[in-house]
Amino acid sequence: MTPDSLHDSARRIALTYPFTEHCWPFGPEYDVFKVGGRIFMLTTHVRGRGAGEPQGRAAKITAEPGDLSQH
């Protein structure tokens, strides 16, 4: 699985939860997913610090799937 396909899968799964809001409060480079006004997942591109350094993607998930079903 590539980093892009992992992000696509994470976004698709996040949007299946009831009451999920997809928004960009930190700018267009950050995909934020909330339930009940609380962030449970954030994804972004990670840029290298210098020329030739690798770039990648990052995701932060702060809730267990069972937690989301309680909202």
Q: Tell me the per-residue pLDDT of 9-53, one tens digit each, with 9 for 90 and over.
A: 888 999 998 999 999 999 998 999 998 898 989 888 776 666 555
pTM (predicted TM-score): 0.69
Q: What is the pLDDT of residue 59?
A: 66
- Give the tokens for residue 46: 């990670």
Closest of 15, 62, 14, 11 to residue 38, by C-alpha: 62
Q: Do the domain assignments include residue 47?
A: yes
Q: Do the domain assignments include residue 23?
A: yes
Q: Do the domain assignments include residue 19?
A: yes
Q: Do the domain assignments include residue 31?
A: yes
- Reduced to 3 states (helix: H, G, I; strand: E, B; else coil), residue 31 is strand
Q: What is the pLDDT of residue 71?
A: 47
Q: What is the pLDDT of residue 12?
A: 92
- Amino acid code (one letter) for 24: W
Structural domain that includes position 13: 3-53
Q: Do the domain assignments include residue 70?
A: no
Q: Tally the domains of the chain.
A: 1
